[in-house]
A and B are shown apart, each in its own frame.
Chain A
Amino acid sequence: GNSVTQMEGPVTLSEEAFLTINCTYTATGYPSLFWYVQYPGEGLQLLLKATKADDKGSNKGFEATYRKETTSFHLEKGSVQVSDSAVYFCALSEGNQGGKLIFGQGTELSVKP
């Protein structure tokens, strides 16, 4: 079946460090891919998305490129801030699954000043 695997957390970085959170997926078709962010005590917010191979999603300095050949969608940011501390979820959606999203287990990021 379809699945999403994220790197385990927590990830602890200093402010202005480079961030990479790995995400790989297994899917039978051509999924859309998403990154969501969850701040403490809140719901999830869409961070960025990509709908086909080689698409790059970007938002608020975060980027992720849909790599079909490596079935990956790694999240990157060049310079993290304390306010980026949150849990990040990678997810995929396939049309033949009725549009349901499958989520990875989440990666907690903590940025220290």
Chain B
Amino acid sequence: DGGITQSPKYLFRKEGQNVTLSCEQNLNHDAMYWYRQDPGQGLRLIYYSQIVNDFQKGDIAEGYSVSREKKESFPLTVTSAQKNPTAFYLCASQGGRNSPLHFGNGTRLTVT
């Protein structure tokens, strides 16, 4: 079954530590996205990548970094510079322009 895998489902970190969230897809999609979701709010775009070795900032990129060394993988690092990192993080992939996004099941990050 093709899909997107995010791991882990729950992640706990101490303030000041960097943490990397994993996102893997086997849909052969070129485009991948990272969104952040806070309680009662919509999705805000952090970073996106439309092709391997290339990525662009979204609306709230500050304090985050990404890499896209392989088509299948788009890890997100939440750095200590992110002022309010506790949130639900969603990864998605897309097969073509104007195509729907396919989402993973998310990682809930708690920083204390």
> A residues bordering B, Cβ < 8 Å?
31-32, 34, 36, 41-46, 49, 51, 89, 93-95, 98-101, 103-106
Contact B42 A100 (CB under 8 A): no
Proximity string of chain B (100-112) to chain A, C-beta cutoff 8 Å, 1 when within and 0 when not: 1111111010000
Contact B103 A44 (CB under 8 A): yes
Bound Cα distance from A44 to B103, whole angstroms: 6
> B residues bordering A, Cβ < 8 Å?
4, 6, 31, 33, 40-43, 45, 48, 50, 58, 90, 92, 94, 96-106, 108
Q: Which among A41, A99, A104 is the interface contact of B94 at CB below 8 angstroms?
A: A99
A residues less than 8 Å from B101 (CB atoms): 44, 46, 101
Bound Cα distance from A104 to B40, whole angstroms: 11
Contact B42 A51 (CB under 8 A): no
Q: Decide: A106 near B42, CB < 8 A? Known: A44-B103, A99-B99.
A: yes
Residue of B nearest to A48 (CB): B100
Bound Cα distance from A106 to B33, whole angstroms: 19
A residues less than 8 Å from B42 (CB atoms): 89, 103-106
Bound Cα distance from A51 to B100, whole angstroms: 10
B residues less than 8 Å from A93 (CB atoms): 97-99
Q: Decide: A43 near B105, CB < 8 A? Known: A103-B43, A106-B41, A106-B42.
A: yes
B residues less than 8 Å from A89 (CB atoms): 42-43
Q: Which among B43, B48, B98 is the interface contact of A51 at CB below 8 angstroms?
A: B98
Contact A46 B100 (CB under 8 A): yes
Q: Decide: A99 near B96, CB < 8 A? Known: A105-B41, A106-B42.
A: yes
A residues less than 8 Å from B40 (CB atoms): 106
Contact A43 B31 (CB under 8 A): no
B residues less than 8 Å from A31 (CB atoms): 98
